[in-house]
């Protein structure tokens, strides 16, 4: 078997046994019936496009022998290999790796099965996992099915946004039906929350403090230049690290809310879109479920709105929310949901209640994904461990990226109108 790696280093475990195991799980054909001729490996994403894992794309060229009719055929299958960060350096990610496996192997297949005859697809097919020193997940290559990622530096247009919101509504609706079976016990921890169970969090604490709170100082410095934002920035100056996390906890832990399974990291690179063509309807699917969380539907929507859209779409938010509500209501009715179906007013109010999460997503995640490609080409999970580097990059975005400034203006004004910043001491 030949392995072509285009002159970049690949993990040692990417060998013949590794790809034979993948092939058998992917095509479900007895081992003796296949022979791998060649595996061509390329990077599935470049620096700055994915921070929680390293992505490889592999094309497996193999011969298949059909003993029933004594025939031989040559086939190629394209796969994605998701190589997690070194968990010795990222202890807190172990929880999220386990949760993502549960999403792919247990939850998505059930949720997709609810839509009988509709061929609903929420994510890629899962093939197998390898619990090596650095855990690995293998799944189908959605690119081979005409799904593509939108340019993170541009954001989604109106048509793309509507396609995604429709699919988020399907996803949330299916999860509400599934929740009646009590299946989401492992998804009750939100990435922004404080540690509550004694896990090793020193690294996570450093990362989120320097990104979540540390960057607010840069936002204040930049927005104090605008006279109309100066009073708001005076409020933000009072926000301490403890108050930041307390406010997040208050939002997350509100009682008596309608809960859904949130994707948890709903930004442009985690959503692949297939445009409508003569053979297929427009569609969207999701990847990277490490941060999935069972809680308010406002979390996914705020995260998505504040990280993934063109500035024009922010001005259409009320209409976008109506599209989400229409499709959530339709999904729940079609699936004979027994609980309370959220009204448009409820959804709008729930999104408002989560507005601070939207601000946090805009002033952190949006800035991270807006780092210029030349500057981010070497970025990875380890970038977050380098305080000076990441904060310097985020500050550069604030001073040079007009799109980000305009989105932040919209988000900050909305937060101020909702009095989100009024209670900092």
Domain range summary for the chain, segments of one domain joined by +: 2-83, 146-417
CB 139 within 8 A of CB 124: yes
pLDDT of residue 263: 97
Q: What are phi and psi of 410, to 5 degrees?
A: -60, -45
C-alpha 78/C-alpha 58 separation (Å) is 6
141-145, 217-221, 279-283: which range is least confident on average?
Answer: 279-283
pLDDT of residue 343: 98
Q: What are phi and psi of 342, to 5 degrees?
A: -60, 135
62-76, 107-121, 406-420: which range is least confident on average?
Answer: 62-76
287-291, 299-303, 393-397: which range is least confident on average?
Answer: 393-397
* pLDDT tens per residue, range 363-399: 988 998 888 888 777 666 666 666 677 778 888 888 8
Query: H-type helices in 276-366, by residue range?
Result: 297-308, 311-314, 317-334, 344-353, 355-360
- Give the helix, strand, coil percentages of the chain, each rounded to 5: 50, 15, 35
Domain 146-417, second-level architecture:
Alpha-Beta Complex (3.90)
62-76, 153-167, 279-293, 359-373: which range is least confident on average?
Answer: 62-76
Residue 49 has pLDDT above 70, yes or no: no
CB 375 within 8 A of CB 396: yes
Task: List the beta strands (DSSP E) in 5-124.
Answer: 34-43, 54-66, 71-83
pLDDT of residue 70: 78
| Rg for the chain, CA atoms, rounded | 22
CB 99 within 8 A of CB 290: yes
| Tokens representing residue 330 in the block | 């339709």
Residue 69 has pLDDT above 90, yes or no: no
The b-or-e profile of 286-311 (16+ CB within 10 A means b, else e) is: bbbbbbbbbbbbbbbbbbbbbbbbbe
Question: pLDDT exceeding 70 applies to what percent of the chain?
Answer: 88
Closest CA to 241 of 201, 208, 196, 264: 208
pLDDT of residue 214: 75
Closest CA to 59 of 134, 141, 123, 125: 141
pLDDT of residue 381: 60
pLDDT of residue 90: 53
Question: pLDDT exceeding 90 applies to what percent of the chain?
Answer: 61
Closest CA to 368 of 51, 69, 7, 1: 51
Residues 404-408, mean pLDDT to the nearest whole number: 95
Residue 117 has pLDDT above 70, yes or no: yes
Name which residue leads in pLDDT, 25 or 54: 25
Q: Is 182 helix (H, G, I), strand (E, B) or coil?
A: coil
Question: What phi-psi label fits residue 198: left (phi over 0), alpha (psi between -120 and 50 degrees) or beta?
Answer: left
pLDDT of residue 240: 87
Helix (H) or strand (E) holding 293: strand 293-296
Please identify which residue in the block is written with the tokens 């999403």. Answer: 103
| Tokens representing residue 268 in the block | 């442009």
pLDDT of residue 195: 59
Under the banding of pLDDT at 50, 70 and 90, the label for residue 200 is very low
Please identify which residue in the block is written with the tokens 């202890």. Answer: 91
Give me the DSSP letters along 255-287.
SS--EEEE-S--SGGGEEEE---SS---EEEE-
């Amino acid at each position: 078997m030949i392995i072509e790696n285009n002159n970049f280093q690949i993990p040692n475990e990417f060998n013949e046994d590794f790809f034979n195991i993948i092939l058998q799980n992917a095509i479900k054909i007895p081992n003796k019936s296949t022979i791998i001729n060649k595996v061509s490996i390329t990077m599935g994403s470049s620096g700055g496009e994915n921070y929680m894992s390293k992505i490889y794309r592999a094309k497996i060229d193999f011969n298949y022998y059909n003993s029933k009719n004594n025939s031989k055929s040559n086939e190629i299958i394209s796969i994605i290999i998701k190589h997690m960060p070194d968990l010795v350096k990222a202890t807190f990610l172990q929880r999220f790796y386990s949760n993502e496996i549960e999403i792919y192997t247990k939850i998505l297949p059930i949720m997709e099965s609810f839509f009988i005859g509709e061929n609903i697809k929420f994510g890629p097919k899962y093939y197998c996992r390898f619990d090596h020193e650095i855990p690995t997940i293998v799944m189908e290559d959605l690119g081979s099915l005409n799904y593509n990622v939108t340019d993170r530096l541009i954001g989604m247009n109106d048509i793309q946004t509507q396609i995604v919101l429709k699919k988020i509504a399907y996803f949330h609706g299916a999860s509400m039906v599934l929740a009646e079976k009590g299946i989401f016990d492992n998804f009750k921890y939100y990435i922004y929350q404080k540690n509550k169970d004694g896990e090793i969090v020193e690294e996570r604490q450093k990362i989120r403090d320097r990104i979540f709170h540390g960057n607010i100082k840069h936002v204040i410095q930049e927005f104090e230049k605008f006279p109309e934002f100066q009073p708001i920035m005076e409020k933000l100056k009072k926000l301490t690290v403890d108050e930041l996390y307390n406010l997040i906890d208050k939002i997350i832990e509100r009682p008596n809310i309608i809960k859904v399974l949130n994707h948890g990291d709903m930004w442009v690179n985690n959503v692949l879109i297939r445009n409508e063509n003569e053979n297929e309807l427009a569609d969207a699917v999701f990847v990277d479920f490490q941060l999935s969380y069972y809680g308010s539907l406002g979390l996914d929507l705020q995260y998505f709105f504040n990280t993934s859209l063109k500035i024009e779409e922010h001005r259409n938010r009320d209409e976008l929310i109506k599209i989400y509500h229409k499709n959530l209501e339709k999904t729940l009715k079609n699936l004979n949901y027994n609980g309370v179906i959220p009204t448009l007013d409820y959804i709008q109010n729930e999104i408002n209640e989560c507005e601070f999460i939207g601000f946090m997503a805009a002033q952190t995640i949006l800035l991270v994904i807006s780092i210029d490609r030349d500057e981010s080409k070497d970025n990875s999970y380890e970038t977050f461990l380098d305080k000076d580097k990441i904060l310097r990059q985020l500050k550069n975005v604030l001073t040079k990226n007009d799109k980000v400034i305009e989105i932040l203006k919209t988000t900050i004004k909305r937060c101020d109108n909702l009095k989100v910043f009024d209670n900092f001491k």
